[in-house]
Structure 1
Amino acid sequence: MESAAASALLKSVMGRLFMALEKEYSKHKGLAQETHSLQQDLRMIAAAMDDQLRVLGRNDARNAVARLHTEEMLDLSHDIEDCVDRFLHRLTCNNHKRGSGSNGAGPGASSMVRRMAHELSKVQSRSSFAEEIQKLKRRIREAHQRVMDIKSIVDVIAGGQPTTGAMSSSATAPCRNTCNPVGIGEPVEELLSLLDEVEGEPEQMRVISVVGFGGLGKTTLARAVYDSPGAKGKFSHRAWVTIGTSPERDSGILHALLQQVLPKDAIGVDGQHDLEALLKEYLKDKRYLIVMDDINMEQWSIIRSTFVDNGTSSRIILTTTIQSVANMCSHGNGYVYKMNTLGEEDSKTLTFPGFRSPELEQGSESLLGKCDGLPLALVSVSDYLKSSSEPTGELCAKLCRNLGSHLKERDGHYSFSELRKVLLDSYDSFSGYALSCLLYLGIFPNNRPLKKKVVIRRWLAEGYARSDSLRREEDIADENFSKLIDQNIVQPVDTRNNSEVKTCKTHGIMHEFLLNKSLSQIFIAKSSRDHPRLGINTNARHLSVHAGELTESVESDEELSRVRSLTIFGDAGHAICYVRKCKLIRVLDLQECNDLDDEHLKYICKLWHLKYLSFGSNISELPRSIEGLHCLETLDLRRTEKKFLPIEAIMLPHLAHLFGKFMLHRDDVNSVNKMTKLQKFFSSKKSNLQTLAGFITDESKGFLQHIGHMKKLRKVKIWFKHVAGSSNYIADLSQAIQEFTKAPIDRDIDRSLSLDSEECPENFLSSLDLKTCSEGSKYALRSLKLNGELHRLPPFVTLLSSLTELCISSATLTQGHLSALINLNRLLYLKLVAYKLVNFEIKHGAFPSLRRLCFVVKSVTSALPTIEHGALPNLISLQLLCQGLVGLSGIEIKHMKYLKEVTINSGVAIQWEQAAKNHPNRPKILILRKVNPMESEEPERPCAIREQREISVAQTTSLDDGLDSSLNKMRLSKPSSSRLQVFVHPVVITAT
């Protein structure tokens, strides 16, 4: 009776409370529209300000005011994002907790109280959110007014006239260190050789593009070639035009050309058409050399039609910092020459042209490392040291610590003024989220390669690939990364099978500039061994700990309210304990963390907003509480020793990419209820899993039985475990592969499959086969990797007509294996790894679409592949990583008219270099040599070494996981004390 009375009273009170809540809610129901309006205001004002500020600067580059405005807009956009996320977190997270914590209790007083508390909490959150929105709108209006006030002042000073840049057409190129250039001897010889025609080839005009990051010495190199006796003797007419970076009207560029090419008394015609006709007429029967320094695509499109092939072996040399410009200008029969940084000895020569001592060299080691062989940076350092009466190693160490401050727009030493301009030009070409992507590079150490896909996944998790357009965020992130490569800010270190960048490295001095920028804007807070407290600010957006400790004491959660990522390299100290205070953190990268343990996971598994998580080797057991990571999209366990995975990890609703080498937990596999639950999860299409790379399979089906239900799955990697006496194992595997590869007949689906049977008996892979595909469907894969003993290829390979990438690794490969591939007409990349080849001949007409072919043959006595004339008509890259390669070994490359690069062993370099000189394309010869493992600083990591014969970086590459692990097996019977190392010019590519 008392219970009923209490219940009636509660309902009465609740009714009045909910009426009040409903009235309050009506005031705030427009918050979604307010949020959208706020974000739209920010975008519109930022765009308008950019338009207004651009005219205040020169050459389309942002001036100091515009740069500060861009940084303010970026900070505002981050604060808006934080505001929205905090609001959504309070609502959705509370609701998530309420739903999961009810424990199935029925309705009653306690549940009504909880609902009331939740509704009150939502109202309070809405009120707080509305206040924050109004504050942010005031900040936007204030930012707008500040810029308008500054614009008015500048207009008064400038008389209301915007300043414009002028294009130089001087006959002398402005470049530093032209009196005694260092390290350009071989590049000059190579460019001079490109001025000649290949014997037997017709005379024709060629465009030679010299490309590279600003300050590499492109102008110096072009000037050395232009002034060389060889160039003067070959060309009756020469001209040098410094184009500059400002877009001029068409006639301005043509006038600049005319002033240098034509006699002065011949210029007197106005109008673009007349100028172009005059140039064509004058050049039509002459053999000329024209250098156009610092050109962009717009300028080249204006003047390109002026240069008609007149059959006189004329040459045009262009310099540019943009790779796509170089590719476009030299498309066809031209040549792209990519500048390299200087080696260690040349760097010392340029930095210390006079006094040298052991103390100075040792003290300057880190400083030269930051300069990273960039001539302009080295000259700037040299000029700075010359301003001191006694340069010492201690002075170099001090400069190294403070180098970033000298790269600022203001207050830096005058010796670095030209270097600052080059770095700012690159920085100013980015804005919005693309600028965030650029600054983001400062998080990572610059002494090791950086994986492209890791960077892109982190950008996506951070929200740095958003757009108003309908394009996918993945495409936008890839486009931003491509821009970094295109502008040579980021250099490729290792490329994938399809020529896409796999690992990369930021230019050393650019990395220092970006890190300093990020620290000053509190975009990044960093702690390192060299600078244990440098830039540490717990209000920063990204925390990065490099083998050091965060020594600050964090008193409140608000101090870490802006943190969106924590990245740890080396020992974490107690920094990992701060992660529980980072309520909105999205990225937690602990792959390089040495002292992480299972105890720390209790903090991590409560981070509801976390989207990217990677662990190091110390984690042994993944707890079931990982189900608390509701928003997790990427889970990387490749560095862990973990072998078993709980189903709670697989059932995360947003998980898209799962990396490691594991099996489902035995308790889960043996539980009928859990396996049924997992099957329902996949069947209901709640799973977002796209990458599963990968899992181990044996007689317990585990993942195998669920592959067909993972509808979004695009990439799978499987390690097969030998099971004796299991008759159904092969059938289960074949069924799983069949379900994964099946697709509608009218669709090409981007799917990749990697199968590793190293632990299985011979011919295990060969026994896999698929049933005949049902009507209206086909078996479709883009990429396939097979690793194991193969007596013959699995029959299903020949059914994969849409295959574009194929990698096969086996102890022996024969003509039979090759013949089975003959109908794969769409194949673009083929990689074959074996201890020996038997009767391996690529015949005329084979592989008509193939662009890249790689052979890795370990046996010195193995027969080498034979390539008939007319085979591989579209080949671009040929890798012959064969121990038994002697000279050209009967392989003729001249008929491969599109060939651009050949990778071979160092012992036969001379013969192949000569063959390249006789090829119309002058393909690059990339050198492979053996090195002792002790030469590598970290046996499992790339090691940068300088090679004196050419200005290039040597990259020690480890074997691809899974695909080439058979080579490890081969070493047991044929031991080798050396590793493979690739020397590339201009970039490194994976050899094995």
Structure 2
Amino acid sequence: MADPVISLVVERTGDLLVQKFVFLKDAGQQVEKLKNDLVRMRCFLKDADQRQDEDERIRNWVSEIRAAAYDAEDVIEIFASKVEFFTKDKGLVTKLTYYPLKIVNLYKIGKEIESLRMRLKEIADSRVEYGIKNLGEGMTTHGEELQRLRRSSPFNEDRDIVGFEEKTKSLVAELLKEDKSRRVVSIVGMGGAGKTTLAKKVYNHADVRERFSCRAWVCVSSSYDHKKILRSIIKQLNPKDDKLYEMLEKMEEEELEERLYQDLQDKCYLVVLDDVWKEVAWDCLSRRAFPDVGTSSRLLLTSRNREVAVHADALSIPCELKSLGQEDSWQLFLKEALGHGANAGCPPDLEGVGREIARRCAGLPLAITVIGGLLLRKKKSKTEWKNVLNNFSAHLSRSLSEAGAILELSYADLPANLKFCFLYLGLFPEDSVISVRKLIHMWVAEGIMQKRDAKNLEESAAYDEVERLCSRNMVQVAEMTVDDRIKSCRVHDLLRELAIRKAEDENFFQIHDTRDDEISAKSRYLAVHSLPLDKNYFGSSTPPLRSLLFFNIHGYMENISLSFKSFRKLRILDLENVEMGYNLLEEIGEVKLLRYLGLRGTSIPRLPRSVGCLRYLQTLDMRNFKSKVKVSNFIWKLESLRHLYAYDMECDVPLKIEGLRNLQTLSGIRFEDVIHNNMITLTSLQKLGIVVDYRSEIDKLCIHLSEVGSLKTLHLYCNTESEWPSLAGLSKLHHVTELKLFTSPFARTMLPPDFPPNLSRLSLKGTFFRNDPMPVLEKLGQLSFLKIEVAYEGPQHMVISRHGFHQLKFLELNNLYGLDEIKVEEGALPQLQRLRIRDCPDLAKLPEELKHITSLDALELVSMPEHFISRLDADTVSGVPNLRIF
């Protein structure tokens, strides 16, 4: 697998050539030659990649190519931006004035490309010295060693298994179901979650052995050999037959499939396919080898990829191993760290620190086993255990040894773009809950997602990559929306350590997390987790940074000395929660390639006027909840802007935003500024958040927005504590399908007299109603999603009447103090799929009528009091397939 960074840079260089052709045409031939040089170099990387582990010189060689590839992209993009400035939208006189500058820049890029090509030639010539060849794709030597370490067997069942009793019982029941058809039962989870361990327990279960006299176990792995797998199963079905074994070695693939089919044809068989990575592997095996002839046969499949399990049998719900619970984690930890048997206690002086170490393992059996094995070899002293806790990640990383192969295989199997995305997640601190929306904006700004044939495809592709990483169990879902969208995610410490280790091997990024760290002059991606007291933060170093991210730098009152002239290659600058309280330097306008500027929670009083020079800026986040941010009238100049997030922007004159044709999200703009702009010119606008007060004329606003055909989401935020304005006129918004009403506490409002006619999603937050809102809301004919949060002050009960909400699929009730009863009449909510009740402390019980809603798939109870949980009526919840209590 070629280096993920270089693969992406080569693609982006080609895309740049297409996108900027009109500005690069005079240097296009040179750029094309440079791109071809990089493509040729990528061929040799396939051999170099497999040998990086054995020779540091080869790692350095790959690093040199990577640096050259980045420099090539920077040179082309910086040059194109300058020539674009000289020529775009300029009159003839201006173009003639700038012509000499254009010629000078053409000469400069020619010299720089010539220098880069010479550099690449020298790198290519040096490969002979290291014996690097041009190989085709194939399993690497290092990869084969990882696979060898990973091979599984149904024997030697793990004695230290903890917490799988219910899972085992459920899987055994699934295998023994009275169903004559051949079915596939799957176990999915991240590497080290215990899939193989659980499969062994099920495979060796007495009831399973009794039902399936014909059984076989085979480890498929990521580089499966179809013939070898078929032979292995046949041999297990025909033990001690040397003549057959010899004949099998001579058989072709089709003959092996036919023989296995015959062996299984009249049997009630169970075959375990452990560690299946790809859908094509399942297709190869299931195509002709496993008969489905009404004998109640079963296949038990384990995989890290949920998509593989669903592909194998769409009717079977995979058993997902997420993580061990707190008590199960503790019991496994005690076994591993102290070597005691079941239910053995922990020395009192070690229990506190021990439980914290177990908690840091986040329920992953592999992590508990690794860190427990380390402690088993150490003195049983509080000092030793505290040392491990205080340096948890470092100890965990050093102790991985062979266990690390389990996770490294997951990384090796990722395609180049997903490897890049995964490595990028390593920049975030331990235990970070990462906003998926923010991550998507960053990945798009990095150019990881390539736009192909439709608007907004990059954002959609980026979300798909988050889902793929979660599906492959490389990333954990932290929070879902009630309608099953991933809202935030996190990376387990073990996988984060893997990302950091791989990133260091490939010189991908640097994390500055102690005051003594030195900033490398070669860093392209830098995450700052700790700031020194010395104001000269970067010293004499001026690394060619593309991303500069600050995390957890709260209350840092010193001026962060960022000389933006030194960071002209920056694409991403994220200063979220660095409470500066002072303005950015005007030099920010010199960072011409900047695409993402994160200033959320920085408390900056004013945005520099020079931000208007950032013509490539895609995302600007300046939400400051403690104070307003003043801006000059330059937003209209940001022609590439896609997402603008503010809390309450303030401008001395009506803010001009007309003509921003790429703008998709505009949040935190004042009512007055919307009214003074021709919103029809914002042809890509999908989400609009407006700050209103009691004087705002909502009817006039709705007339103004009714012709913005792309607008789908409208968010009205009332910043007054007195009363909402009249909400008349919403029925004019035929294009709007999602409405959010959000206010500061204690503002009183009545429900709107009418709603957008095609409304399917409604969120009410902080809007205190004196009367039960359900009689009005349940009549919204197309409503499929309803969320009510801190939005209720009426009677102590809500009533959903017969046939109310006949299209509603997702309902969330959040933080509704005073609500003690929900009445649901028979026939209500006929299509409800998911109900989430969060932090409603006065609610006495669930409505009994839930048991009659056959469509209800999931009931989630979040932060509900213990007395509520303890009084749950079994009859009410027994019919819900997924009951989740957080």
Same fold, TM-score > 0.5, yes or no:
yes
What amino acid is the match of 2:526? L
Residues 730, 768 of structure 1: 8 Å contact kept: yes
Task: List runs of 5+ in structure 2 lacking aligned partners.
Answer: 1-23, 341-345
> Do the aligned partners of residues 886 and 209 (structure 1) sit closer, same or farther apart at CA in structure 2, a change above 3 Å counting?
farther
| Candidates 493, 503, 511, aligned match of 2:488 | 503
> Do the aligned partners of residues 369 and 650 (structure 1) sit closer, same or farther apart at CA in structure 2, a change above 3 Å counting?
farther
What amino acid is the match of 2:488? T
User: Which residues of 2 match residues 598-637 of structure 1 at below 5 A?
Assistant: 598-615=582-599, 616-637=601-622
The aligned counterpart of 2:662 is 688
Greater displacement, 506-515 / 780-789: 780-789
Mapped partners of 2:353, 2:705: distance in 1: 58
Residues 605, 625 of structure 1: 8 Å contact kept: yes
What amino acid is the match of 1:658? L
> Do the aligned partners of residues 134 and 337 (structure 1) sit closer, same or farther apart at CA in structure 2, a change above 3 Å counting?
closer
Query: How many Å apart are 1:501 and its aligned residue?
Result: 1.0
Mapped partners of 2:256, 2:149: distance in 1: 17
Alignment partner of 1:781 is 2:767: no
Residues 569, 593 of structure 2: 8 Å contact kept: yes
What SS does the aligned partner of 1:780 have?
Answer: coil
Residues 363, 397 of structure 1: 8 Å contact kept: no
Query: How many Å apart are 1:900 and its aligned residue?
Result: 4.8
> Do the aligned partners of residues 844 and 373 (structure 1) sit closer, same or farther apart at CA in structure 2, a change above 3 Å counting?
closer
Mapped partners of 1:185, 1:163: distance in 2: 33
Mapped partners of 1:761, 1:491: distance in 2: 42
> Do the aligned partners of residues 690 and 469 (structure 1) sit closer, same or farther apart at CA in structure 2, a change above 3 Å counting?
closer
Greater displacement, 311-320 / 533-542: 311-320
User: Which residues of 2 match residues 490-569 of structure 1 at below 5 A?
Assistant: 490-528=475-513, 531-534=514-517, 536-549=519-532, 559-569=542-552
Residues 220, 229 of structure 2: 8 Å contact kept: no
1:530-583 Cα deviation digits (max 9, x unpaired):
x33346313201222213228696788873234542434315656542444212
The aligned counterpart of 2:69 is 77
Mapped partners of 1:458, 1:168: distance in 2: 35
What amino acid is the match of 2:685? L
| Candidates 224, 227, 239, aligned match of 2:215 | 239
Query: How many Å apart are 1:462 and its aligned residue?
Result: 2.1
Alignment partner of 1:734 is 2:720: no
What amino acid is the match of 2:806? A
> Do the aligned partners of residues 71 and 793 (structure 1) sit closer, same or farther apart at CA in structure 2, a change above 3 Å counting?
farther
What amino acid is the match of 2:705? I
Query: How many Å apart are 1:392 and its aligned residue?
Result: 6.1
Residues 404, 516 of structure 1: 8 Å contact kept: no
User: Which residues of 2 match residues 579-728 of structure 1 at below 5 A?
Assistant: 579-594=564-579, 596-615=580-599, 616-639=601-624, 641-665=627-651, 667-669=652-654, 678=656, 682=658, 685-697=659-671, 700=672, 702=674, 705-723=677-695
Residues 593, 616 of structure 2: 8 Å contact kept: yes
The aligned counterpart of 1:302 is 284
The aligned counterpart of 2:33 is 37
Residues 583, 606 of structure 2: 8 Å contact kept: no
What SS does the aligned partner of 2:647 have?
Answer: strand
Residues 852, 878 of structure 1: 8 Å contact kept: yes
| Candidates 910, 919, 923, aligned match of 2:881 | 923
What amino acid is the match of 2:667? A
The aligned counterpart of 1:380 is 370
What SS does the aligned partner of 1:926 have?
Answer: strand
What SS does the aligned partner of 1:547 have?
Answer: coil
What SS does the aligned partner of 1:523 have?
Answer: coil
Report the TM-score, using the length of structure 1 for normalisation. 0.72
Mapped partners of 2:705, 2:590: distance in 1: 36
The aligned counterpart of 2:713 is 752
Query: How many Å apart are 1:585 and its aligned residue?
Result: 1.3
Task: List runs of 5+ in structure 1 lacking aligned partners.
Answer: 1-27, 101-105, 670-674, 744-748, 772-777, 928-982, 984-992
| Candidates 891, 897, 911, aligned match of 2:849 | 891
Greater displacement, 761-770 / 644-653: 761-770
Alignment partner of 1:179 is 2:159: yes
Residues 818, 840 of structure 1: 8 Å contact kept: no
The aligned counterpart of 1:456 is 440
1:29-53 Cα deviation digits (max 9, x unpaired):
7532222332243235425643x67
Report the TM-score, using the length of structure 2 for normalisation. 0.79
Mapped partners of 2:548, 2:617: distance in 1: 13
Mapped partners of 2:64, 2:395: distance in 1: 20
The aligned counterpart of 1:839 is 799
Q: CA RMSD in A?
A: 4.7
Residues 738, 770 of structure 1: 8 Å contact kept: no
Mapped partners of 1:867, 1:44: distance in 2: 69
Query: How many Å apart are 1:375 and its aligned residue?
Result: 2.0
Greater displacement, 618-627 / 878-887: 878-887
Query: How many Å apart are 1:338 and its aligned residue?
Result: 3.0
Mapped partners of 1:536, 1:446: distance in 2: 20
The aligned counterpart of 2:824 is 866
Query: How many Å apart are 1:511 and its aligned residue?
Result: 0.8
Mapped partners of 1:373, 1:711: distance in 2: 48
Residues 811, 835 of structure 2: 8 Å contact kept: yes
The aligned counterpart of 1:949 is none
Residues 913, 925 of structure 1: 8 Å contact kept: no
> Do the aligned partners of residues 521 and 289 (structure 1) sit closer, same or farther apart at CA in structure 2, a change above 3 Å counting?
closer
> Do the aligned partners of residues 519 and 402 (structure 1) sit closer, same or farther apart at CA in structure 2, a change above 3 Å counting?
farther
What SS does the aligned partner of 2:338 have?
Answer: coil
Residues 654, 688 of structure 1: 8 Å contact kept: yes
What SS does the aligned partner of 2:848 have?
Answer: coil
Greater displacement, 77-86 / 568-577: 568-577
What SS does the aligned partner of 2:639 have?
Answer: coil
Mapped partners of 2:664, 2:254: distance in 1: 55
Mapped partners of 1:191, 1:117: distance in 2: 75
What SS does the aligned partner of 1:77 have?
Answer: helix
Q: Among the aligned pairs, what percent are the same residue?
A: 23
Residues 205, 315 of structure 1: 8 Å contact kept: yes
What amino acid is the match of 1:301? D
The aligned counterpart of 2:836 is 879
> Do the aligned partners of residues 620 and 468 (structure 1) sit closer, same or farther apart at CA in structure 2, a change above 3 Å counting?
closer
1:72-130 Cα deviation digits (max 9, x unpaired):
6544432322232343466567889x999xxxxx99xxx99x96974674265235323
> Do the aligned partners of residues 750 and 99 (structure 1) sit closer, same or farther apart at CA in structure 2, a change above 3 Å counting?
closer
The aligned counterpart of 1:331 is 314
Mapped partners of 2:608, 2:63: distance in 1: 41
What amino acid is the match of 1:830? L
1:826-852 Cα deviation digits (max 9, x unpaired):
x553334553654313639922xx543
Mapped partners of 1:254, 1:311: distance in 2: 22
